[in-house]
Chain A
């Protein structure tokens, strides 16, 4: 008996010694990722949750200011745009260095932009319009565009936009090295890349900007949201950055609070061209009556979402005349009866979040109330991208909650709605709306630009091709006292800025 208990006691004692101290006491921030990092390469990976880490290790020339869609300085302290809109001149900040000690200068920016623009880099399309980059002196970088592109600064500010990498690291390592290593100039260094387990960032002492509050950011990989919530309640982590159940936000446990911020997450629906919904105006009005987000948005999101104003996120543009869903349920039911009934399927990708699932169920119930035989179908992972090849079996409405690449309306219209747009999942086409959207591409006057995109939005909705439902906020649940989370509308929800976040003194 003794022989057994003594080692066991040692083991328990040893394991207790191994338990880390509370994160805040060590000035360590612990924020989990529910999705493991695929690649840390800022040029060659489309990451989602890892954006917060990548954008705190690397910097671009410009960036979105937290809480807004305004563009502010990063590695460029100022910039000028030529009158013809073809030349962008950036003046670099003084004294910035990379984590390996290499100074940040125009040659470094050139090397990074060449890398980003390379054919082998997945995110090279961010520089699609750049025809030349020059470095007239050590502190100046000049971009020449092929055509005027008012969205160019937005592309540079995008969370997936071009970052500046140490030229020594680019020269000294093969491209795949950057999947698990990083040498940027941001406020944090990547010091531990333990795939599937934990990533660690440590404060960069020579950072040229404001010193971060936290010395260390630990990012454990915790895929299960239930596990994340328990760890937050136990004080083992400091935040649940995303996917905290909406229904539980109203009654958070003691010691927790939330930060809600504007986001570009828009819940909207693709309508299958050729479905009764797209072809028959009366039926469309009836269905829109039943799907009116005024009725159900609060049920799902509480105060953290509002009915959509248009096909563009409200943080991107505010239309003069918001979309108006009819409200006469009796007329809607009569229209369905007059049409001899209606059957609809509402689909969403299995990778969709719980709120999309709930929205689909509520919509089906609402449609049933006006006599529509509605069915909800869950599409296999990735299947939404292949809908155009299987239109016969495609649902009548496909729901998605998406975020654009940047805050310029072009990145919404040109990706989701115009003819042939890459995420125009049902292949919808409305030439008159395309013409307006494409014409708005070069408009520099913000009000005129937004009015044009809003007009295109109205046309797409009136044609029954797309239905906007809700502008959803970015909600992070965290330990009491955590503040200045630096949430940016363009980032995917939950991307905390580790450089600004701190505990209240």
Chain B
């Protein structure tokens, strides 16, 4: 376990380092000027130049990069050129909303994947289930997001279609509305936050549910043909108990790997979903920072996404070994 943690810690640092290299390389290639973006189009050249100097943009890229790494080592991610706030503060402000949304999407997506896989295994007409999964997986996320908004909020008025909460000026210790509502004993906050979570989480969860569901169905299909499954059937266990007791645990590894991979894709979709649902998280922050050529903010978000991705996949690997003792960390 110690060796595993050391290897993963090294990988963690390497991956984050690569993220910084990629973002800095992009800065060198993209002809955008953050100084012009923040001073406005009509600002005189000397103003733009002064701001460039303040931001250190006149220094060679390698020098800027070394300075960035030095600051990063001290926990300083720099100042956002758009919000004028320390990027670390901005991340603290937006991260809880994103974690809450991603967490909800993961739970929802996993549950849906399970339902889809079991339906495919147990229902007689599993072709229809497969077609439904394919259809849901092939709809572009911006379209599925708008469809969900239009149907469940605008047409039926069952659920809110935008924002995190319908209550003004609520703040809690963790930044997660659901958790804070529970901690502070505010059922109105919990209810409103959950209601606001459903549609964006569902939009994010659909691609994940289809991918993980198909992976699980395929793994179950193989596992349930193994001799131990036949033995279980031979003992007279009904099919659903064979699936639940013997199938799921042994088929868990491939869908868990898929779940870890899907998180990376989910971060990409997050930019669309948070924008569409006006969800004030890191995705929306990233979209607006990109439009302002706000490199420190973009780097901060990229590092955060990278870190969460690595940590989540480490957790997945640990769960995989728990589910299948043949696997070693």
Q: Do the two chains bind?
A: yes
A223 interface residue, CB < 8 Å from B?
yes
Knowing A11-B187, A385-B33 are in contact, say whether A122-B287 is a contact too (CB < 8 A): no
> A11 CA to B192 CA in the complex, in Å?
8
Given A227-B276, A230-B149, A411-B42, A14 and B190 contact (CB-CB distance below 8 Å): yes
Partner of A13, one of B83, B191, B292: B191
Asked if B94 and A380 sit within 8 Å, CB to CB, the answer is: no
A382 cross-chain contacts in B, Cβ below 8 A: 30-33, 36-37, 293
Listed from nearest, the 8 A-B pairs whose CB atoms lie closest are A46-B40, A382-B32, A14-B191, A196-B280, A18-B192, A15-B191, A11-B191, A18-B166
List 9 additional A-B contacts (Cβ < 8 Å) besides A200-B168, A226-B276, A382-B31: A18-B192, A122-B40, A123-B40, A194-B280, A195-B90, A221-B280, A383-B31, A385-B32, A423-B42
Interface hits, B135-156 → A, CB 8 Å = 146, 149-150, 153-154
Segment of B12-20, B110-118, B157-165 in the binding face: B157-165
Binds A, one of B43-51, B210-218, B309-317: B43-51
What total of chain A residues lie within 8 Å of the partner, measured CB to CB? Answer: 62
Question: B278 within 8 Å of A by Cβ?
Answer: yes
Q: Is the CB of A422 within 8 A of B30?
A: no
Residue of A nearest to B83 (CB): A38
Interface readout for A6-21 with B: 1 if CB under 8 Å, 0 if not? 0000111111011110
Within 8 A of B (CB), among A25-79: 35-36, 38-39, 41, 44-46
From the candidates A19, A35, A46, A390, name the one contacting B43 in the complex (CB within 8 A): A46
B60 at the interface (CB under 8 A from A): no
B150 touches A230 (CB 8 A): yes
Count of A-B contacts with CB under 8 A?
A: 172
- In the complex formed, the residue of A with least CB distance to B146 is A226
CB interface residues, B 257-303, toward A, < 8 Å: 275-278, 280, 284-285, 287-288, 290-293
Q: Nearest Cβ distance between residue A376 and chain B, in whole angstroms? A: 19
Q: How far is the CB of A44 from chain B (nearest CB, A)?
A: 8
Chain B residues at the A interface, C-beta cutoff of 8 Å: 30-33, 36-45, 47-48, 50-51, 82-85, 90, 93-94, 146, 149-150, 153-154, 160-169, 187-192, 194-195, 275-278, 280, 284-285, 287-288, 290-293
Say which residue of A223, A227, A381 sits within 8 Å of B32 (CB atoms): A381
Contact between chains at A234 and B38 (CB < 8 Å): no
Interface centre among A15, A38, A176, A381 (most CB of B within 10 A): A15
Which residue of chain B lies nearest to A230 when distances are taken between CB atoms in the complex? B154
Contact of A223 among B43, B146, B284 (CB under 8 A): B284
Contact A195 B278 (CB under 8 A): no
- Please tell me if the beta carbons of B40 and A160 are within 8 angstroms of each other in the complex: yes
Q: How far is the CA of A180 from the CA of B82 in the complex (A)?
A: 12
Contacts of A224 in B (CB 8 A): 275-276, 278
The reply on A169 being an interface residue by CB < 8 A is no
Residues of A within 8 A of B163 (CB): 197-198, 220
- When chains A and B are docked, how far (Å) is the Cα of A385 from the Cα of B275? 26
